[in-house]
Chains A and B, each alone.
Chain A
Amino acid sequence: MTPQRTVVVWWPDWPVVVAGRAADPVVVVANNKVVAMSAAARADGVRVGQRRREAQGRCPTAEVLPFDEGANARAFETVVAAVEELCPRVEAVRPGVLAFASRGPSRYFGGDAALIAQIRAVACDAVHTRLQLEVGAGPGVGVADGNFAASLAARAASSARDRVLYVPPGRSAEFLAPMPVAAIGDAAIADVARRLGLRTLGAFAALDPSDVVGRFGADGVTAHRRANGLEVRSLAPREPPPELSVEVVFDPPAETVDRIAFAARAVAAELEEGLRGRGLSATALVIEVETDHGEKRTRRWRSEGALNAAAVAERVRWQAEGWLTDVAQAVDDDAPTAGITLLRLAPDEVHEHAGTAQSLWGGASEANERVSRAIARVQGMLGPNAATTAVLVGGRGPGEQIQMIPWGDSRAVDAARANAPWPGRVPAPAPAMVLAAPVPIDVLDVSGHAVRVSGRGEVSAPPVTVVGPHGVDRVTGWAGPWPAEERWWDAAGNRRRARLQVQCESGAAHLCLIEGGCWFLEASY
């Protein structure tokens, strides 16, 4: 069975377009890795996935911009809405990429060429007039049999001269054959295939299907069918039974993205659970919201692989960003005019799930799930910040070296900062008790005067007594000071501090901090 003709619109370097800087050399960076760059930076050899420093080395004139996921999703929602006025059932794949079946619209507009010209004009117009951004070279449009081939065609088109790549019906396999095997979209299979000497999709497609299933399992069959330009499953997608859709009611209406995203995490897990109970997984999903004024908005999202709970929650977040910012700005007549009262997630296309099953004896996955459920319960009771995990981020003080992250958020950290040397850091062991806010104390010398620390990092006299929250304590040993002068180049953020370790007669050992001539108890050992 040949897959349906699909049009994919791929806006290259969407984050750069959103930043409004397509003409300059710029690099967009998330978590220290390049995620997008302008044409000028690409010409200098900057590539996606490079480290920020390497990119700066290749293109020293480039300006580094942080990646703003919310802004990307918001802006793209405008483009999807504009394209949807021309043809129905437009599917957002991710910010910058959308897809739709071409059969109906193509006939209406008089052929694929006319349709593509229309779509490009509408998309560029949306970016230019509604978003007031530079269009640049515009999006690449690919037309082919099936979503996979059309995506690759669109990507290839974005570097072609007229930015359109039309693969004739029935010729998708031919088009895919010379592509590198890494395009298959499954890193593990691509890696093995490369090591087996299969360097192109054509070589992988030429394997016997029974060999592929023997070596790579169900995922391998999916990848093999894709490489052959075939529909991912030979069976037609199953119509999902209606009770699989899940919904959450907001009372009072939700007006912040955070509230919706938080609720979405729970219902997305419920949706996944419901699907998995029937041995299914969703590849397309309809997100639907209703506002307080009775307006309804829906958007269809598609993914190449199965949508798991985290991916669903992420898409709801993107969608909410797009819709709710419209409420605030009221730029669009189409925008909802009130807070959101109902969120419904409905699987639109489901497949039999051949993925991982839970191990028979519970084991690690069961324990992890139990813990996730308990944490969700606590977060539901007290809010998302009530359950946190810690990551090491680097710094001088014992409290500065860690960062608490609400459970469920990404634990990614800036590795360069975490592993950097921090001169002025007090050596290990770390204190067992770190006060949330330092408590004022007195550190006195033998004559009863407060001990001072000079600009050269010397104490005025040895400390003899500490007057702290537990009363007066005699000092039996001390060391330091460890001076920490932070951001001396920055008048507003500049801080000069010094730390002292003291050991007291009571057995307590403290980390004391002096700043601006005042002593504080920062931590106890």
Chain B
Amino acid sequence: MSAEAAAELAEQLPLEPNRRAALRSLAGKIPQSTPVLASQRPRPVGGPYAEVFPNGLRPGTSISVSAAHPALEAAALRNAVALAAGVVPPDGWVSVVGVSSLGVLAAVEAGLALDHLVFLEAPTTAWGSVAVAAVEAFDVVVLAVPARPRLAEVRRLAGRARERSTTVIATGPGAAAWGGEARVVTSAVTWHGLGDGHGSLRSCRVTVDLDGRGSVRARRMELMLGP
């Protein structure tokens, strides 16, 4: 029972004044926050996503990363990789499930270690089993969700992820259906460094619409990705 609930109870119950006072003092002794296991505590997020999740992310959180329209799919993928690199613990393992078009060099530039990065194929018929295997073993899973996933399967996966403290980053056509504790929608991209026939792409500013449950506030943010 939390301290507030106990204090409230002390005021509401029909009690003699001295007993009420005793109950009030007991309520004051309950610690303000219940203790949390170290593995369940939010971990700080690194990289550009530090400003999106300033309080860190609890391992086991599911986040969907999608694009507002198809032309921004590559930018959404860049967001997903940046987020994965931000949340992976030191020496942690990352798997990329069913994202056949991911630019591996971009993942390296974002800070993922190739010797701890595993690419798993996920044909539609075996998607659920591959995803479960990945969620149960890896620290971070970048998961391509098919267009119309079975909702029961999605709920089961999210539950396993919470239980095993695996951070799931859902992308692909079904990312919006995934839901998750936070949703990151890439709505616009501006690239810098390119002129009219000269220069080269250098860095980009993405606009993301953020939405979610709990401590995640719905808002629009601008992030700088790239060096």
Interface residues of A (CB under 8 A from B): 364, 367-368, 370-371, 373-375, 377-378, 381-382, 385-392, 398, 401-402, 404, 407, 411, 426-436, 459, 462, 470, 473, 477-479, 501, 503-504, 506-509, 523-525
Contact = CB atoms under 8 A, between A and B. Distances in A.
Q: Which of B91, B105, B119, B199 has the most CB of A within 10 A?
A: B105
B120 interface: yes
The 5 closest A-B pairs by CB, nearest first: A374-B137, A430-B105, A524-B74, A432-B78, A477-B194
A380 to B, nearest CB: 10
B72 A433 contact: no
B201 A401 contact: no
15 contacts: A373-B137, A386-B120, A390-B119, A392-B108, A432-B78, A433-B73, A462-B197, A470-B70, A478-B196, A479-B198, A501-B200, A507-B190, A508-B72, A508-B74, A525-B74
A447 to B, nearest CB: 17
Interface stretch (B15-23, B43-51, B128-136, B214-222): B128-136
A507 to B, nearest CB: 4
Interface in B114-159: 114-115, 117-121, 123, 126, 129-130, 133-134, 136-139
B201 A501 contact: yes
A119 B56 CA distance: 70
B129 A479 contact: no
Given A387-B120, A478-B196, A429 B201 contact: yes
B195 interface: yes
A433 B137 contact: no
B93 interface: yes
A503 B109 CA distance: 21
Interface string B84-121: 00000001110000001111111011000011011111
A431 B74 contact: yes
What's the dominant secondary structure at chain A's contact region? mixed
A508 B189 CA distance: 7
Contacts of B93: 367-368, 371
A261 B201 CA distance: 46
Q: Bin the interface of chain B by size.
A: 35 or more
A390 B117 CA distance: 8
B213 interface: no
Contacts of A390: 104, 114, 117, 119
B72 A507 contact: yes
A408 to B, nearest CB: 11
A381 B93 CA distance: 21
B25 interface: no
B227 interface: yes
Contact of A371 (B137, B188, B198, B202): B137
B75 interface: yes
A102 to B, nearest CB: 46
Nearest to A482: B200
A390 B92 CA distance: 16
B130 A434 contact: no
A524 B75 CA distance: 8
A413 B107 CA distance: 19
Given A432-B78, A506-B72, A374 B104 contact: no
Contacts of A401: 105
Contacts of B69: 506
B226 interface: yes
Nearest to B134: A374
A425 to B, nearest CB: 11
B53 to A, nearest CB: 21
B3 interface: no
Q: Which of B102, B138, B139, B194 has the most CB of A within 10 A?
A: B194
B86 to A, nearest CB: 15
B123 to A, nearest CB: 7
A364 B78 contact: no
A433 B101 contact: yes
Given A377-B133, A507-B190, A524-B73, A430 B106 contact: yes
Contacts of A473: 71
A459 B198 CA distance: 12
A381 B126 contact: yes
Contact of A525 (B104, B195, B199, B204): B204
B63 interface: no
Contacts of A503: 191, 194, 201
Q: Which of A374, A381, A524 has the most CB of B within 10 A?
A: A374
Given A432-B81, A477-B195, A479-B195, A402 B201 contact: no
B103 A433 contact: yes
Given A387-B120, A504-B71, A524-B73, A509 B115 contact: no
Contacts of A504: 71
Given A364-B91, A525-B191, A429 B120 contact: no
A479 B71 contact: no
B77 interface: yes
